[in-house]
Amino acid sequence: MNVDLKTDLFGIILKSPLILGSGPLSYNAEGMISGYKAGAGAVVTKTIRNRAAINPYPHMAISGRNTMINAEKWSDISAEMWVEQEIPKAKEAGVVVIASIGHTPGEVMNWAAAVDRAGADMIELVSYRQEMIVDMIRIARELTAKPVIAKLSPNWHDPVTTAQAALDQGADGVTAMDSVGPVLRIDIRSGRPLLGSEKGHGWLTGSAIKPIILRYVAEIADQTDKPVIGIGGVVTAEDVVEMLMAGAAAVGLCTAAILKGVAYLTRLNREIKKLLVELKYESPAAVCGAALPNLYKQEVLDRFTFSFNEKICTECMACVKVCPYQARSLSVGGGEKKMELDEKLCRYCGLCASVCPTDALSLEGTSPPAGTAPPSPPAGTTHSPGTLRPHRNNINGGIKRNVQ
Ligand SMILES: Cc1cc2nc3c(=O)[nH]c(=O)nc-3n(C[C@H](O)[C@H](O)[C@H](O)COP(=O)(O)O)c2cc1C
Ligand code: SF4
Ligand code: SF4
């Protein structure tokens, strides 16, 4: 099967669905060119404002696996430099450039036409304040014919309604979403915050925020046909596919590329291709929104059954240990493994199957969810066509097929 990663975004053909999001890696043309060469389909500039940012020290720290906090502001180089030097230089090198402008209507007025003239292919508008974004879109719409994208924040009280309002004002699509915060981390040796910002506040990005972002991407994609760029917590190829399934037309990432180095994008494109072959999708566009018809309208009140494949059970006992009700036991002896479930104690919460690292224990559904392309079961497993594989893969993707 031939998988093509090319992705159409507002009529612009990207070589990959991956977009290097606004952040420290796109600090100038040089950073953007590196990101593009490594495999990004497009690169978003660090956010351009009237004045260059002065950041507190320190302003970035790791906070758990593939997760960061940061108090980095917008671009620390001037808007003039971006339009005179950096955007033209990135364009000359062939980069598909998305110019990020923040954070007020006045700044859009000042810079939207200028980044357009400098050669930006698209313009992304970002604001800390929900009430400003719609005005920013309206102004940009008058100043440029290039695609205009509203970047949404999970910290606003109603980003879903705001997405629609921005689209109604002429936005061509939305980016969902920005970092989550404010948040706080403390160094217990010094008793001080990890970041040097006011009150030590930072913003959370990377793996920890993925479920928050996915929920918004799905909700927004469900209400519009306009493209949604899903960004937040994407690390692995499985994360990319999950974001596409939730309705993203293209997938951004920032933290993973910072923590793993920008060359990671090359590997990630390779892994996405491999995974799409395995899942039998011929392109990212074919995956886009595949999960949306499966989002339950009502709670599922039919119990599932379990499937156990002793051949791939490693006897790790994770499923036994994790059961809060002591409903599960595994006995091993005489060359046999016996998985037992006390149905009176079991609440069918599903946790035991979700922690199984090999899929030896899985949930059986009654039929494959409509609209998805269930992957074929691995050779030698007992998964029936009714097994809830797509769902399970999403849960366990980061564990079993971790590309880290
Ligand atoms: C250090 C850092 C700096 C960032 N700076 C910007 C910025 O200037 N403008 C912006 O719109 N988003 C900025 N972001 C947010 C990212 O573009 C992205 O929306 C967010 O990190 C979620 O994606 P991720 O989980 O893949 O990192 C920044 C993120 C990080 C980690
Ligand atoms: S489904 Fe929940 S209650 Fe039942 S065995 Fe598994 S962890 Fe225990
Ligand atoms: S978690 Fe999976 S591999 Fe580990 S004991 Fe249970 S069934 Fe076997």
Distance from residue 24's CA to the centre of ligand 1 (Å): 8
Beta strands in 264-388 (DSSP E): 305-308, 328-333, 336-341, 361-364
Q: Are residues 251 and 310 in the same domain?
A: no
Q: Are residues 158 and 277 in the same domain?
A: yes
Percent of the chain residues topping a pLDDT of 70: 90
Average pLDDT of the segment spanning 114-119: 98
Find out whether the beta carbon of 280 lies less than 6 Å from any atom of ligand 2. no
Distance from residue 355's CA to the centre of ligand 3 (Å): 8
Q: Which numbered atom of ligand 2 lies nearest the CA of 341?
A: 5
Find out whether the beta carbon of 377 lies less than 6 Å from any atom of ligand 2. no
DSSP 48: B
How far apart CA 140 and CA 154 sit, in angstroms, is: 22
Residue 393 lies in a domain: no
Q: Are residues 319 and 248 in the same domain?
A: no
Find out whether the beta carbon of 306 lies less than 6 Å from any atom of ligand 2. no
Q: Are residues 311 and 245 in the same domain?
A: no
Residue 167's domain is classified under what CATH number?
A: 3.20.20.70
End position of a domain, from candidates 265, 293, 321: 293
Tokens 């009700």, residue?
325
Are 357 and 396 in contact by the 8 Å Cβ rule? The answer is yes
End position of a domain, from candidates 235, 264, 293: 293
> Does an H or E element contain 250, and which?
strand 250-253
Find out whether the beta carbon of 151 lies less than 6 Å from any atom of ligand 1. yes
At 165-207, the pLDDT tens digits run 999 999 999 999 999 999 999 999 999 999 999 999 999 999 9
Q: Are residues 156 and 230 in the same domain?
A: yes
Distance from residue 377's CA to the centre of ligand 3 (Å): 17
Average pLDDT of the segment spanning 47-68: 98
Burial (CB count within 10 angstroms: exposed 0-12, middle 13-18, buried 19+), residue 9: buried
Distance from residue 389's CA to the centre of ligand 3 (Å): 16
Q: Are residues 198 and 60 in the same domain?
A: yes
Average pLDDT of the segment spanning 395-400: 32
Q: Are residues 355 and 232 in the same domain?
A: no
Residue 271 lies in a domain: yes
End position of a domain, from candidates 293, 319, 347: 293
pLDDT for the residue 87: 98
Q: Are residues 279 and 334 in the same domain?
A: no
Find out whether the beta carbon of 309 lies less than 6 Å from any atom of ligand 1. no
Q: Are residues 183 and 242 in the same domain?
A: yes
Residue 25 lies in a domain: yes
pLDDT for the residue 388: 37
Find out whether the beta carbon of 347 lies less than 6 Å from any atom of ligand 2. yes
Residue 61 lies in a domain: yes
Q: Ligand 2 pocket: which of 325, 339, 345, 362 to mutate (most atoms <8 Å of CB)?
A: 325
Q: Which numbered atom of ligand 1 lies nearest the CA of 233?
A: 25
* Ligand 1 atom 6: residue of nearest CA: 23
pLDDT at 384 over 80: no
Q: Are residues 282 and 323 in the same domain?
A: no
How far apart CA 193 and CA 214 sit, in angstroms, is: 29
Average pLDDT of the segment spanning 136-155: 98
How far apart CA 65 and CA 382 sit, in angstroms, is: 33
Residue 382 lies in a domain: no
Q: Are residues 202 and 339 in the same domain?
A: no
Residue 168 lies in a domain: yes
Q: Are residues 193 and 74 in the same domain?
A: yes
Residue 344's domain is classified under what CATH number?
A: 3.30.70.20
pTM of the model: 0.91
Please give the tally of structural domains in the chain: 2
Give the model's confidence band at 1: pLDDT under 50 very low, under 70 low, under 90 confident, else very high: confident
**Which domain does 200 fall in, by range?**
7-293
Residue 171 lies in a domain: yes
Q: Alpha helix locations (H) across 155-209?
A: 159-168
Find out whether the beta carbon of 231 lies less than 6 Å from any atom of ligand 1. yes
Distance of CA 116 to the CA centre of its chain: 27
DSSP 83: I
